[in-house]
Structure 1
Amino acid sequence: MALSNNVIGAINFLGILLAIPIIGTGIWLISDPENSCIKILQWPVIIIGALTLIVALAGFVGGFWRNAPLLIFYLIGMLIMIILLACLVVFVFMVTNRGSGHPAPSRAYLEYRLDSFSGFLRRRVNGPFKWAVIKNCLSSTSICPELNQTYTTAQDFFNAPLSPIQTGCCKPPTACGYTFINPTFWISPIDTAADMDCLAWNNDQTQLCYSCESCKAGLLASVSRQWRKANIILIVTLIALICVYLIGCCAFRNAKTEEIFRKYKQGYT
């Protein structure tokens, strides 16, 4: 029985270790500089990771100290955590599998349209108050100003691997036909009716295209890109948690079987 308890405790220690990448993923999403102006689902990830850590600790203690109530709490709690994490993984996949960019003529970067994203993501940036807060945050970052230090000629800029936020917020849409002066200063549009954002562009360095629909789209594209990366980590962790949980269930069942068999033998001796 002691050996079985030690095995259960060791298995549950793996659960403690697997909680770390979940929490780390949430912290990484919160600290990402490009997406620091919008918070979508980061805290649920951290909360699930923290609860998984608590449940795994309970199983670890219960395994080594033969505490049946703690082990039962672990089995029920970890099952709930696995279900919650699986639901989160599926949800993230569903809301981020849309919104791919489209190439602009003679440009290396992609441009994005707001209507190509899921309704859930669009609701995170729609609304005057919501976007006013996000816009003020974006305009206070160095995301756009740093382009002027990096690219001095039009051709260098057009061949640059710009991020979605930079393509949507720091310059006017390509279809407008603005003339490049520097990455955040453009003049003489050819067709202001080509895109609804053509008239929204402003050379004021605190305005730029922060009021454009393309800026909202670029922000959501950046969020989606980071969440797809995070989802890979969460999927791998979920699979590992399921394996650890199943092994733990088998070890717990074997331990109970050994205990019952031991009591049965004692009853006949």
Structure 2
Amino acid sequence: MGVSNNLTAILNLIAALASIPIIASGIWLASSDHCISNFRWPILIVGLLMLLVSLAGFVGAYWNKQGLLALYLFSMALLILVLLVLLVLAFVVTRPHGDYAVPGRAFKEYRLQPFSSWLRNRVTGSGSWRKIRTCLAASDVCTNLAQNYITADQFFNSRISPLQSGCCKPPTACGYNYVSPILWTNPANPMADPDCYLWNNDQNQLCYNCNACKAGLLGNLRKEWRKANIILIVAVVVLIWVYVIACSAFRNAQTEDLFNRYKQGWV
């Protein structure tokens, strides 16, 4: 195995290692997306494909399979392109946010309209939301609040998630009185916000029908994807670097192969 092939094999091991954070971020999104299963697959699939392509490149370099190496370079270029498109899309659709500060509260509340229309339409459509609402009601997202916070001061000074802020309590503007994080009574203010009328102390309803809940879910999704984007940026930079060097090593390997054949022809 020549020097160029040695270098390509090492680079492919680096690329395989770079795919691990991508796979991990996909798994992390899968475990924390709270009832939005379709948003976890793109990163996970790209990470797995990158791992397989890198391993194919390693095999091709180690056993000097030039055809496999050429296929590897083509596949890796296509994969980097897909990853770049995914990264740009993730940044564009997660750039707008609907959070706003509430006086006397450590947590923020959320409005639906400021979020990306693309993201909003795919999450809050009637068919999609019906399934998400059922999933949220069966989860422990809200019941955990009642276990973690007892007094109003504890709850108002907490850093609850966007999803919990939107789905587990009525909007602060409604003026409901605190009994527990998921039990509120006797609104004191005029209820101009339609969500105020949708709040229900029934543990299977709470604010799951509220626009605030949909906005909180989008806020959660945006927060998680922004974290995942950092991993994707690092992975893309590493993979482009690996790909450029691998292309150069592939050309050098072909040159070495032609030189060896020419040399053998003169022996």
User: Aligned pair 1:55/2:53, yes or no?
Assistant: yes
- In structure 2, the residue corresponding to 1:8 is in which secondary structure? helix
Q: Could you tell me whether the CA contact under 8 Å between 2:98 and 2:113 is conserved in 1?
A: no
Question: Counterpart amino acid of 1:198?
Answer: C
CA-based RMSD of the aligned residues comes to 1.5
Q: Paired residue for 2:152?
A: 154
CA distance in 2, matches of 1:41, 1:260: 48
For residues 1-16 of structure 1, what are the structure 2 equivalents within 5 Å?
2-16=2-16
Q: Paired residue for 2:236?
A: 238
Deviation by residue 1:206-236 (Cα, 9 ceiling, x = unmatched): 1111110000000110011001101100110
User: Aligned pair 1:88/2:80, yes or no?
Assistant: no
TM-score in terms of structure 2 length: 0.95
- In structure 2, the residue corresponding to 1:232 is in which secondary structure? helix
Q: Could you tell me whether the CA contact under 8 Å between 2:98 and 2:112 is conserved in 1?
A: no
Q: Which runs of 4+ in 1 moved over 6 A?
A: none
Q: Paired residue for 2:105?
A: 107
Q: Paired residue for 2:208?
A: 210
CA distance in 2, matches of 1:12, 1:181: 58
Pick which of 218-227 and 144-153 moved more.
Answer: 144-153
Q: Paired residue for 1:258?
A: 256
Pick which of 143-152 and 172-181 moved more.
Answer: 143-152
CA distance in 2, matches of 1:124, 1:147: 28
Q: 1:64 aligns with which of 62, 65, 69?
A: 62
Q: CA deviation at 1:28?
A: 1.1
Q: Could you tell me whether the CA contact under 8 Å between 1:19 and 1:49 is conserved in 2?
A: yes
Deviation by residue 1:45-89 (Cα, 9 ceiling, x = unmatched): 111112112211211111011111100001100000000001101
In the alignment, structure 1 segments of 5+ residues that lack a partner are: none
Q: 2:41 aligns with which of 19, 40, 43?
A: 43
Q: Percent identity?
A: 51
Q: Paired residue for 1:133?
A: 131
Question: Counterpart amino acid of 2:45?
Answer: I
- In structure 2, the residue corresponding to 1:133 is in which secondary structure? helix
Q: CA deviation at 1:266?
A: 4.6
User: Aligned pair 1:19/2:13, yes or no?
Assistant: no
In the alignment, structure 2 segments of 5+ residues that lack a partner are: none
Pick which of 90-99 and 40-49 moved more.
Answer: 40-49
Q: Could you tell me whether the CA contact under 8 Å between 1:8 and 1:251 is conserved in 2?
A: yes
- In structure 2, the residue corresponding to 1:102 is in which secondary structure? strand
- In structure 2, the residue corresponding to 1:115 is in which secondary structure? coil
CA distance in 2, matches of 1:250, 1:24: 30
